[in-house]
Chains A and B, each alone.
Chain A
């Protein structure tokens, strides 16, 4: 075999990708040819140089997390798709929540795993969780407040001629949650009042709208908290009369459920 033929095969030879017969031919030639031995040496060196020159890049520091969040979103969407197929199911916080609140403020709340309550399919559901999604989007986007009230009554005043229902901000016991602003924001096809709170330096958003959420399939009992996890956020919902309060925020689920439960809402 001539050297030029070896040149053409030396890469595949070094890669161990030649068929056994060609492998033998090349080996036989190389044993007897100094030039081609150097050639093989060079090819091996080239391979290791390429490898060491091109590796060793650091991952962008938050790439792993961003991918993780993307995968969370896939999980949430596929669950939503399954739910859509299976009519509607509502996740109701177990009765333990009421009991624990009854024990007083200091009581540490622990929530048993959410109980899945299958409700009868609602007559018409256009999309699965439009309001939940919208509230999470609004919260995550951190859109600025239209007003920064000194007192909750200013908020009611602000919304008086903007929405068809009276907006009464949720009020929380003690100083745990401070109302910092409000914004008129459509949720689905209806107008809603978004209320911004500060809870120990973290943001909590409460969206007030009238009527029932289509995704809940019907009115939820007053005083009961229904929640769902959407895109990494817990979203508790509570009804008071005609008004529905949807909560979400940068606090853990326990805190959020406790806030939703303890909020003084309604007219």
Chain B
């Protein structure tokens, strides 16, 4: 039958079926990412709806064989940035975060060792709360990076594609974001008594250095 409307309906139906099959399974991943980015259940709900609508409309632009989840996350991340960062000038948003100085050695070796060793269930649960807080406290751009890299486990290349920046920038900004999270995590672990407080490595005063040397070695 050559009826054009029937043909159109058939195509629409096929497109819808393919979309349901390929994109819908990523709904949970999108929602988790949206919750962590927006920090709000209602905004996340909204954002995911917007994402799926856009994805469906532009479904023909998806390149078969590439990562559907990364494609959806790209749509969602950009929708999020557009929505919530519209007021803030892009430049100030990026530069201010990169400009923050970070110490390279914020953690004591004891803390690193304690957290690297197997943790029991209770401690893991306590730290889970600290990690959520730490993420919520991050500046927007860094939070997005952690969500894409550590939560959604996209490759640096995919993240660079999502954010439209070079891979090298992803690497250095991600490093920064993780440092900030890790600092928060270790502080929290010390508060909880999971790791012992100890002076951190790095620049210390000469007296402290001498005292430590004299005392320990």
Contacts and interface: CB of A to CB of B under 8 A. Distances in A.
Nearest to A55: B32
B171 A12 contact: yes
Contact of B45 (A11, A12, A56, A63): A63
Q: Is the interface of B mostly helix, strand, loop or mixed?
A: helix
B32 A42 contact: no
Interface stretch (A81-89, A132-140, A197-205, A236-244): A81-89
A52 B151 CA distance: 9
B49 A63 contact: yes
A67 B128 contact: no
Q: Is the interface of A mostly helix, strand, loop or mixed?
A: helix
Interface string A109-153: 000000010000000000000000000000000000000000000
Contact of A50 (B56, B109, B129, B151): B151
B48 A50 contact: no
Interface in B35-53: 35-36, 41, 45, 48-49, 52-53
Instruction: Kindly state the interface size class of chain A when it binds its partner.
Output: 35 or more
A139 B5 CA distance: 27
B105 A116 contact: no
Interface residues of B, number: 56
A53 B150 CA distance: 11
Interface stretch (A71-79, A168-176, A206-214, A250-258): A71-79
10 contacts: A7-B104, A39-B116, A49-B128, A57-B32, A59-B28, A60-B31, A63-B49, A79-B5, A82-B5, A116-B3
Interface of A: 4, 7-8, 11-12, 15, 17, 35, 38-39, 41-42, 44-47, 49-57, 59-60, 63-64, 66-67, 70-71, 74-75, 78-79, 82-83, 86, 89, 116
5 A-B pairs with least C-beta separation: A41-B116, A53-B128, A53-B131, A42-B116, A50-B150
